[in-house]
Amino acid sequence: MIKAVLFDLDGTLLDIDLQGFLRDYFGALGPAMVGLAPDRSPEDVVAAVISGTEAMSAPHAGQTNAAAFHARFLELTGVDLDAPSAEAVIDEFYATRFPELRKSYRAHAGADVVVRAARDAGCRVALATNPIFPRAAIAERARWAGLDIADFDFVTTYEVMHATKPRAEYYREIATVLGVSPSECLMVGDDALLDLPAGDVGMTTWYVGRQSAAPSDWSGPLRDLARVLPALSRG
């Protein structure tokens, strides 16, 4: 019986060129943060941002992803991102510059329908995006998909998560927060390498990507999932 549905965001609910978006994101974030480290070149700051992202992806037991990122950035630049002055710069970036990265990104067909179907079926619902972004950035990208993060029981942001995809700890942490066992979860995603390892911890998987032989339990478009969710929730 499925009691919780975990939805990936980028490429699953949101139709986005992820590599292009990440290139634009790092290209915008680095220069925005240069003022925090005036003795560093823009290239050094961008490199520190990328290195901080890599630190989040590596094991860091006991630390949130944000703490791992901040520690690496402090090590490389001497800048404390937890200082109020730094927080103000970052908040300003996500409030003003980040929304400009949207371009033509939009919801995948059936995104709102399938999220509503999961809730109507009585399932707990998580927005299970890779938590290398702060909540503000994830909320903005959810809006690009026509969604509101308030409609989710849990959102995997870098402030609250302690691991990233595809680590088993990431998936187990979500199940724990939702109060269900991994075997009662359905992970919905488009990335065979990042999303489908949920199956390794006992979650059922639904694949919406384009790889023909992806190792998932089921596959198909979001609207197909919306139609069968009531049956899955009843076991």
Query: Among the three residues 49, 84, 101, which one is the final residue of a domain in this structure?
Result: 101
Say what the pLDDT of residue 46 is: 87
Cα torsion through 168, 222, 208, 106, rounded to 10: -100
Question: Do both 50 and 163 map to the same domain?
Answer: no
| Among 78, 101, 124, residue at a domain's last position | 101
- Residue 213: the pLDDT is 76
Residues 155 and 199 in one domain: yes
pLDDT, block means (10 residues), the chain with 235 residues: 97 95 88 85 88 96 96 95 94 95 95 97 98 97 97 97 98 98 98 97 96 89 96 88
Q: Are residues 87 and 203 in the same domain?
A: no
Same domain, 130 and 191: yes
Question: How crowded is residue 79: how many other Cβ atoms within 10 Å of its Cβ?
Answer: 22
Q: Are residues 169 and 95 in the same domain?
A: no
Q: pTM score, two decimals? A: 0.95
**pLDDT value for 141:** 97
Do 145 and 219 belong to one domain? yes
Both 115 and 94 in a single domain? no
Residue 123 sits in the same domain as residue 160: yes
Domain that holds residue 28: 19-101
Give phi and psi for 146, each to the nearest 5.
75, 25
Do 163 and 50 fall into the same domain? no
Considering Cα of 154, then 172, then 20, then 191, what sign does the dihedral take? negative
Residue 118 is part of a domain; what is its CATH number?
A: 3.40.50.1000
Assess whether 86 and 118 both reside in one domain.
no
Give me the pLDDT at residue 53, please: 94
CB 64 within 8 A of CB 159: yes
| Residue matched to tokens 């993060």 | 149
Residue whose structure tokens are 């975990």? 6
The predicted pLDDT at position 198 comes to 98
